[in-house]
């Protein structure tokens, strides 16, 4: 308010005239002209509203017979009814709408300005009050009886529409026995009103509601009743509305009859007969609309028909297709398509006949729209045929392929695309299930009927189809995806023609071609592909590898092949290329030598693909093992390929014991080679050894136990040899670590004795670290021998790890923590005494510099808690004792205290539900007391604990500690507050979210009140932005009302003079305070003219364009006020209202005359400006943009200076030229 007054003083420049507080209205002018005009506008609006709303007295008279109705026979109870005394109490109907789910739609109409919606609410209010006065419960049955009586007594169209709408909502909830008992009077009443609607003057909303109600009544009747002539007459009346010219009536009738057809066969039979009659009467364009309506209806009921009715309906659709009417044909094909998808009564024989009929009625290739729909119908028909008769679908496939071979050449892109989709759907829905019916023929590799379809598809690879080869390749790829290895021979003859495409002129879609070739490689195998398109080296002076383009395609798609093929065909090529490369290198031809090396590398790169699930591993691995073993040491550049191949081969053989045993037989040959490569001194040109150690780890898993034990003992002895280099011994320890998970118990005893010595030797941190890693590997291994070893040596592990704490180096903390974590998981009840010995070490590690070490420490803290909970008898006591063990660290050094608090924070977060309230209260007191510490390290940990406690603990536990907490924060020194300013703000935000503004602000020290206000303002500002954004999204995505509600708009006739108010401020129990920032999100955006309006009948102030104005406001962050104030930036946010009383408080600005702008200086004969006699020189203001700093300002006027220099240069030239002319 003060800001608003200062704004007015500033704008009016009158310092002496000020309003007294609360007396602003005294400044209104004496004249009443504007006030009288505003009052007249409001009065006229109210008169229009009152005229549009049915009066209470008239509605009482129209519904007075409700009180005389006797529906006690139905509901079984009730007292004497009384007349409705008032309809102003809308709460009655609101409760009715809220109590019954049937009236959920009515709740949306409550604030609607439409007259028909108001009528619905008024009728519901009247009926609800009558039911209450009768002493009955507000049940669907009571509303059903009351609404039927009201409908019978009412003769006003508006009321009949409202009552019938409410009746259609409540009928689905009425018990079935009541509906059957009241079938005759209810249907008689509804059909009487329905027949009263003449063809010229009808109400769409009334007819829709009546049809909906009648359909629900029919739906709950027994089938016997439909054999009566009167009921069939009623049914024929409803079916007659199916062809109604009004779309809303027609649609609701179609849905009603379709729902009845699903449960009542006689309704379905009657509707089908009616549709067939309507279709047979089609003679020309005169009956086109009726026929289209019939076709749109028949597609709803045909899926529910039995076989005989289904045949008749489909025959009628197929017959009307022949009339060659574009609209009729298209609608009929779409109806057939839907019938194919939804009907369950179609047999294979009938489906085949339908498809043959569709083939006989094939449209012209130039009739693109019909062809598209026809192909879609064919696709759905074949999909249905593959479902009901798969073998027939394969047999008839050639007809579809023959048609597609023509349509794929169409000039219309839509037809081509639909053709592709049709073929893909056929391959997906027909081929897999259909070929299963030909399993005997496929085993013998005989030709079947599907071979003819493949021949037609193969013919599309000719040059005639070059323009659509991309579509053909996609279709062939889809075929390959749906064939199996058993049926792959059917497409083997297609490969030569497929490869011929690549050499065709003007073919550029290589990506799609290679993808299709890859699918053929996966389906047929690499052997058959390379038989057609072999890879070979052409002899001559220059190197040339034929079909080398296949190499990357083969690498990506080979699997389940034969290693023998690689050994017999690919391996000789690599040897030839190697010889060629060396020959070229000797001749000095370096380029060809590198080409040969590259091609050889690509051929070797196929080996990992051949190792994916090979079919002849047991027979062929021995033939390829020797060259791989030799080349591992001789060819370092190929070492990565060989290691990857071995790893892939072992992973493929893991699940087959025979194959794993065959690969393991060669471990005695491969592992020493790999060991030697790994431990050798590295050279600069050598590749990385990471693939080698990965290969060793993989090979150890299939290595026989005796061989592994022998290699282990030998390697262990070599690792202890002091004559070996440091690199060699580290590599040997790495190999030993890889062997640990697969060793036997005897070898474990040996390595365990050596490792205990390593972890007790602080002079060699590297060996100590390896020792902890080996212990961790022993404990974590799931092998039975390891589990047995760990259980028998568990006490030794505890002892040695506890004793080695003082001897461990800093580099060993992470592996040591992993060992402790593994031991904690294996603790039993007797071994829980081990926890106090290792807990201090774990606590101190939560502040290590290494992130993984910190994570391991926190995992240990949490795992200890879960082990204690699992092993302990009393979970609460176990966590309480654990908490007590950790709290002891608060008495230690500064580092220990901060680490302890961090561990307590983690325990509190994980196990707060197990801790008793007295323990938590005591700990909170201690933590709050630690806020008085002068150590920033401790304070940082304390803030983390408090933030966690505020978030996870109960309200009543933390509330008593809020004031001591805030007092401690206020007692900090200025430097400490500055250091933790961000963390303090985050803590205050969490306190505000948990305890609210009033409590925190009241308890906070004075220096933090500003921070709290700032937090609240930022939060409110963000919420406002989110609410505005959300409202904009809701406004954009706002959908219209349901069809059932939208039909009532017809009663309004012309548009109402009164604008629809889509926005309003809702006032609750307390008065609205527009200075509160919380009011901003409540101001909803509406129309441009009336963006915000209050109900006028309440006499509230009308505020307009408020939402747009508030966007220009900003929050006052001054220190003088604790509340959020809307501060005006440049203009009054409420501005000048478009209605009501107002004064123009802005000083009028003098208008600029036309002759004072820059246009007066513009030259009429040349470019630029010219001087005027008696006027100043022309000039222009250039604003200095200081927001960006010096960097932005720099170069801001470069273009202007450049243009000035050019102009000055031209002027100098002209001046000198003029002088020369004068001198001459």
Q: Give residue-wise pLDDT tens across range 90-104.
A: 454 455 554 577 787
For residues 355-370, give the mean pLDDT: 90
DSSP 544-599: EEETTTHHHHHHHH--S--HHHIIIIIHHHHHHHHHHHHHHHHTT-HHHHHHHHHH
Q: Give residue-wise pLDDT tens across range 816-851.
A: 888 888 888 888 777 788 888 888 888 999 988 888
Closest of 206, 200, 208 to residue 159, by C-alpha: 206
Instruction: Determine the Cα–Cα distance for residues 214 and 1154; give it in Å rounded to an integer.
Output: 75
Instruction: Determine the Cα–Cα distance for residues 347 and 1154; give it in Å rounded to an integer.
Output: 87
Residues 1124 and 1024: beta-carbon distance below 8 Å: no
Instruction: Determine the Cα–Cα distance for residues 936 and 569; give it in Å rounded to an integer.
Output: 73
pLDDT of residue 428: 93
Contacts of 831 (CB under 8 A, 6+ apart): 794, 795, 798
Distances in whole angstroms, Cα of residue 490 to Cα of each of 327, 451, 502 = 42, 7, 22
pLDDT of residue 1217: 77
Confidence of residue 1092 (pLDDT cuts 50, 70, 90): very low
Share of the chain above pLDDT 70, in %: 78
- Mutual angle of helices 765-780 and 794-803, in 10-degree steps: 150
Residues 1163 and 1170: beta-carbon distance below 8 Å: yes
Phi/psi at 1040 (nearest 5 deg)?
-75, 165
pLDDT of residue 419: 94
* Number of Cβ atoms within 10 Å of the Cβ of 786: 21
Instruction: Determine the Cα–Cα distance for residues 851 and 856; give it in Å rounded to an integer.
Output: 9
DSSP H helix total and E strand total for the chain:
63, 4
Residue 353: strand, helix, or coil: helix
Instruction: Determine the Cα–Cα distance for residues 841 and 879; give it in Å rounded to an integer.
Output: 19
For residues 927-948, give the mean pLDDT: 91
Of 358-372, 514-528, 858-872, 1092-1106, the one with minimum mean pLDDT is 1092-1106
Q: Give residue-wise pLDDT tens across range 673-698.
A: 999 999 988 888 888 889 999 999 99
* Number of Cβ atoms within 10 Å of the Cβ of 1016: 20
Place of tokens 């390593």: 758
Instruction: Determine the Cα–Cα distance for residues 84 and 55; give it in Å rounded to an integer.
Output: 13
Question: Residue 229 CA to chain centroid, in angstroms?
Answer: 56
Tokens of 401: 């392929």
Identify the residue with better confidence: 641 or 1209. 641
pLDDT at 1011 over 60: yes
Q: Give residue-wise pLDDT tens across range 808-817.
A: 788 888 888 8
Q: Give residue-wise pLDDT tens across range 719-770.
A: 888 788 888 888 998 999 899 988 888 888 888 888 888 888 888 888 888 8
Provide the whole-model pTM: 0.65
Residues 908 and 926: beta-carbon distance below 8 Å: no
Closest of 998, 1024, 1012 to residue 969, by C-alpha: 1012
In sign, the C-alpha dihedral spanning 426, 429, 432, 436 is negative
Residues 958 and 925: beta-carbon distance below 8 Å: no
Using CB atoms within 10 A of its CB, is residue 760 exposed (0-12), middle (13-18) or buried (19+)? middle
* Number of Cβ atoms within 10 Å of the Cβ of 475: 23
Instruction: Determine the Cα–Cα distance for residues 1150 and 1165; give it in Å rounded to an integer.
Output: 32
For residues 187-216, give the mean pLDDT: 85
Residues 450 and 435: beta-carbon distance below 8 Å: yes
Residue 1162: strand, helix, or coil: strand
First to last CA, the chain: 81
pLDDT at 215 over 60: yes
In sign, the C-alpha dihedral spanning 651, 655, 660, 662 is negative
Instruction: Determine the Cα–Cα distance for residues 262 and 772; give it in Å rounded to an integer.
Output: 73
DSSP 150-207: HHHH---HHHHHHHHHHHHHHGGGS-HHHHHHTHHHHHHHHHHHHHTS-SSS--HHHH
pLDDT of residue 1204: 78
Identify the residue with better confidence: 390 or 1093. 390
Tokens of 402: 């023959």
Residues 804 and 759: beta-carbon distance below 8 Å: yes
Residue 423: strand, helix, or coil: helix
* Number of Cβ atoms within 10 Å of the Cβ of 262: 14
Confidence of residue 450 (pLDDT cuts 50, 70, 90): very high
pLDDT at 937 over 60: yes
CA dihedral 581, 583, 584, 588 (to 10 degrees): 130
Tokens of 68: 């005389």
How wide is the angle at C-alpha 993 spanned by C-alphas 988 and 997, nearest 5°?
A: 75
How wide is the angle at C-alpha 412 spanned by C-alphas 409 and 418, nearest 5°?
A: 80
Phi/psi at 710 (nearest 5 deg)?
-65, -45
pLDDT at 138 over 70: yes
For residues 46-66, give the mean pLDDT: 40
Instruction: Determine the Cα–Cα distance for residues 330 and 353; give it in Å rounded to an integer.
Output: 20
Give all strands (DSSP E) within 718-837, no chain letters: none
Residue 3: strand, helix, or coil: helix
Q: Across all residues in the chain, what is the average pLDDT?
A: 79
* Number of Cβ atoms within 10 Å of the Cβ of 1164: 5
Identify the residue with better confidence: 238 or 60. 238
Tokens of 1048: 């009532």
CA gyration radius, the chain: 45
pLDDT of residue 2: 54
Distances in whole angstroms, Cα of residue 467 to Cα of each of 365, 494, 505, 717, 1182 = 17, 19, 12, 72, 61
pLDDT of residue 40: 58
Tokens of 868: 């204690």
* Number of Cβ atoms within 10 Å of the Cβ of 381: 24
């Amino acid at each position: 308010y003060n800001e608003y007054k200062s704004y007015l003083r500033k704008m009016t420049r009158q310092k002496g005239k000020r309003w007294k507080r609360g007396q602003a209205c005294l400044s209104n002018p004496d004249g009443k002209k504007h006030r009288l005009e505003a009052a007249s506008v409001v009065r006229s609006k109210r008169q229009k509203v009152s005229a549009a709303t049915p009066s209470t007295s008239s509605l009482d008279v129209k519904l007075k017979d409700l009180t005389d109705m006797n529906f006690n026979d139905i509901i079984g109870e009730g007292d004497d009814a009384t007349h409705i005394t008032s309809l102003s109490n809308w709460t009655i109907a609101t409760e009715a709408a809220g109590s019954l789910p049937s009236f959920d739609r009515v709740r949306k109409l409550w604030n609607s300005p439409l007259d028909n919606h108001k009528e619905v609410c008024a009728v519901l209010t009247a009926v609800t009050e009558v039911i209450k006065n009768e002493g009955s419960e507000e049940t669907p049955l009571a509303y059903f009886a009351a609404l039927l009586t009201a409908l019978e007594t009412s003769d006003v169209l508006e009321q009949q529409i409202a009552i019938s709408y409410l009746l259609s909502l409540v009928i689905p909830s009425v018990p079935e026995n009541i509906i059957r008992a009241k079938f005759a009077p209810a249907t008689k009443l509804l059909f009487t009103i329905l027949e009263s609607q003449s063809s010229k003057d009808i109400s769409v909303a009334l007819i829709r509601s009546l049809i909906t109600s009648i359909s629900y009544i029919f739906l709950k009747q027994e089938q016997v009743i439909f054999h009566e002539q009167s009921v069939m007459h009623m049914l024929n009346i409803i079916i007659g509305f199916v062809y109604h010219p009004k779309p809303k009536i027609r649609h609701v009738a179609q849905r009603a009859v379709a729902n009845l057809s699903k449960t009542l066969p006689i309704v379905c039979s009657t509707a089908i007969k009616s549709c067939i009659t309507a279709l047979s009467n089609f003679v020309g364009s005169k009956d086109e609309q009726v026929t289209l309506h019939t076709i749109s209806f028949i597609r709803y009921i045909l899926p529910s028909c039995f076989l005989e009715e289904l045949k008749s309906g489909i025959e009628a659709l197929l017959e009307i297709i022949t009339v060659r009417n574009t609209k009729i044909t298209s609608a009929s094909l779409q109806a057939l398509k839907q019938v194919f998808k939804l009907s369950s009564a179609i047999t294979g024989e009938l489906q085949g006949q339908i498809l043959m009929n569709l083939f006989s009625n094939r449209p012209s290739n130039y009739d693109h729209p019909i062809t598209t729909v026809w192909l879609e119908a064919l696709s759905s028909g074949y999909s249905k045929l593959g479902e009901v008769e798969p073998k027939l679908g394969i047999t008839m496939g050639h007809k579809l392929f023959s048609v597609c071979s023509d349509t794929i050449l169409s000039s219309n892109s839509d037809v081509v695309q639909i053709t592709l989709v049709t073929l893909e759907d056929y391959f997906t829905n027909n081929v897999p299930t259909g070929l299963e019916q030909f399993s005997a023929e496929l085993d013998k590799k005989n030709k079947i009927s599907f071979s003819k379809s493949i021949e037609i598809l193969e013919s599309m690879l000719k040059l005639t189809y070059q323009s659509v080869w991309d579509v053909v390749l996609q279709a062939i790829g889809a075929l390959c995806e749906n064939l199996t290895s058993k049926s792959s021979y059917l497409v083997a003859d297609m490969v030569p023609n497929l490869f011929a495409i690549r050499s065709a002129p003007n073919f550029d879609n290589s990506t799609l071609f290679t993808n299709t070739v890859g699918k053929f490689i996966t389906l047929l195998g690499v052997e058959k592909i390379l038989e057609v398109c072999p890879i070979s080296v052409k002899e001559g002076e220059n190197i040339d590898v034929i079909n080398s383009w296949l190499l990357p395609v083969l690498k990506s798609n080979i699997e389940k092949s034969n290693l023998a093929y690689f050994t017999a065909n690919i391996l000789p090529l690599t040897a030839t290329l190697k010889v060629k490369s060396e020959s070229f290198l000797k001749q000095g031809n370096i380029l060809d030598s590198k080409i040969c090396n590259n091609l050889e590398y690509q051929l070797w790169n196929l080996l990992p693909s051949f190792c994916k699930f090979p079919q002849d591993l047991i027979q062929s691995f021995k033939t390829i093992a020797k060259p791989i073993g030799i080349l591992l040491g001789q060819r370092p550049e190929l070492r990565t390929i060989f290691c990857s191949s071995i790893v892939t081969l072992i992973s493929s053989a893991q699940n087959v014991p025979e194959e794993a045993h065959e690969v393991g037989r060669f471990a005695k040959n491969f592992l020493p080679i790999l060991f030697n490569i790994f431990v050798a001194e590295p050279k600069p040109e050598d590749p990385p050894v990471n693939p080698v150690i990965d290969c060793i780890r993989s090979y150890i898993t299939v290595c026989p136990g005796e061989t592994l034990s022998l290699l282990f003992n030998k390697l262990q002895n070599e690792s202890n040899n002091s004559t070996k280099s440091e690199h060699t011994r580290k590599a040997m320890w790495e190999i030993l670590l890889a062997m640990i998970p697969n060793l036997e118990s005897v070898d474990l005893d040996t390595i365990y004795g050596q490792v205990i010595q390593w972890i007790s030797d602080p002079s060699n941190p590297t060996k100590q670290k390896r020792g902890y890693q080996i212990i961790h590997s022993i404990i974590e291994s799931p092998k039975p021998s390891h589990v047995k070893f760990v259980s028998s040596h568990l006490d030794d592990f505890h002892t040695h790890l506890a004793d080695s704490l003082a001897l461990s180096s800093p580099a060993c903390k992470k592996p040591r923590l992993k060992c402790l974590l593994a031991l904690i998981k294996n603790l039993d009840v007797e071994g829980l005494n081990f926890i106090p010995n290792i807990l201090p070490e774990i606590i101190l590690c939560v502040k290590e510099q290494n992130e993984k070490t910190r994570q391991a420490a926190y995992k240990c803290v949490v795992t200890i808690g879960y082990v204690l909970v699992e092993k302990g008898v009393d979970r609460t006591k176990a966590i309480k004792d654990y908490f007590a063990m950790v709290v002891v660290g608060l008495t230690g050094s500064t580092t220990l205290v901060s680490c302890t608090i961090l561990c307590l924070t983690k325990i509190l977060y994980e196990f707060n539900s197990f801790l008793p309230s007295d323990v938590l209260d005591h700990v909170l007191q201690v933590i709050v007391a630690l806020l008085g510490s002068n150590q920033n390290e401790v304070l940082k940990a304390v803030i983390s604990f408090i933030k966690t406690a505020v978030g996870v603990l109960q309200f009543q536990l933390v509330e008593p500690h809020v004031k001591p907490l805030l007092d401690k924060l206020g007692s900090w020194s200025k430097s400490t507050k500055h250091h933790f300013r961000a963390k303090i703000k985050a803590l205050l935000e969490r306190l505000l979210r948990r305890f609210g503004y009033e409590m925190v602000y009241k308890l906070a020290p004075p220096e933090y009140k500003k921070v709290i206000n700032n937090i609240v303002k930022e939060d409110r500002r963000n919420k406002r932005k989110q609410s505005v954004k959300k409202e904009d999204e809701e406004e954009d995505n706002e959908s219209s009302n349901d069809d059932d509600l939208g039909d009532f708009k017809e009663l309004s006739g012309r548009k109402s003079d009164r604008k629809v108010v889509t926005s309003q401020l809702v006032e609750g129990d307390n008065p609205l305070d527009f200075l509160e920032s919380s009011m901003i999100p409540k101001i909803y955006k509406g129309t441009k003219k009336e963006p915000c309006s209050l109900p006028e009948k309440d006499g509230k102030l009308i505020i307009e364009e408020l939402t747009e104005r508030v966007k220009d406001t900003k929050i006052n962050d001054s220190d003088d006020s604790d509340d959020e104030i809307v501060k005006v930036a440049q203009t009054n946010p409420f501005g000048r209202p478009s209605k009501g009383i107002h004064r123009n408080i802005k000083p009028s600005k003098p208008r600029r005359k036309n002759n004072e702008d820059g246009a007066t200086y513009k030259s009429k004969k040349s470019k630029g400006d010219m001087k005027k006699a008696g006027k100043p020189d022309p000039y222009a203001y250039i604003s200095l943009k200081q927001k960006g700093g010096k960097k932005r300002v720099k170069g801001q006027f470069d273009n202007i200076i450049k243009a000035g220099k050019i102009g000055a240069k031209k002027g100098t030239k002209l001046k000198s030229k003029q002088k020369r002319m004068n001198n001459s």
